[in-house]
């Protein structure tokens, strides 16, 4: 707010003490100031946009690396799970493992939902 008060005071002094009613020089000064301020604002916005783009690029690269790492870990887990399953099922003597059907009734499910 100091900037606004300083300019209001400066313009008031200029209008009262330095120049006559149409204030052509004051108009020129204010116009030039507006041009420079808008230029500085645009430069700041361009810098901010470049920073945001660099951050977005970095975040994208990081997320791609995480995705590749997760995919590789998932593949390794699948290979290990398959090998473990093969080792446990094939190498254990005895009758083959048979998947038993799971008997679930709505009453059992509702009992479990109510207790949790």
| Model confidence, pTM | 0.52
On whether the CB atoms of residues 43 and 51 are closer than 8 A, the answer is no
DSSP code for 49: H
- Compute the distance between CA of residue 73 and CA of residue 86 in angstroms, rounded to an integer: 20
Q: Which tokens hold the place of 55?
A: 């951050």
H-helix or E-strand containing 51? helix 24-91
pLDDT digits (tens), the chain, 116 positions: 898 899 889 888 888 888 877 888 888 989 999 999 999 999 999 999 999 999 999 999 999 999 999 999 999 999 999 988 888 876 656 665 555 555 666 665 565 555 55
């Amino acid at each position: 707010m100091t900037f606004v008060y300083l300019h209001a005071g400066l313009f008031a002094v200029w209008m009262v003490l330095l120049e006559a009613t149409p204030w052509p020089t004051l108009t020129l000064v204010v116009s030039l100031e507006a041009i420079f301020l808008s230029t500085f604002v645009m430069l700041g916005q361009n810098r901010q946009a470049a920073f945001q783009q660099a951050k977005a690029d970095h975040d994208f690269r990081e997320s791609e690396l995480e995705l590749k790492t997760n995919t590789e870990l998932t593949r390794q887990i699948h290979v290990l799970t398959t090998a473990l399953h093969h080792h446990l099922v094939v190498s254990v003597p005895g009758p083959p493992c048979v998947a038993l059907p799971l008997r679930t009734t709505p009453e059992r499910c509702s009992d479990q939902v109510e207790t949790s």
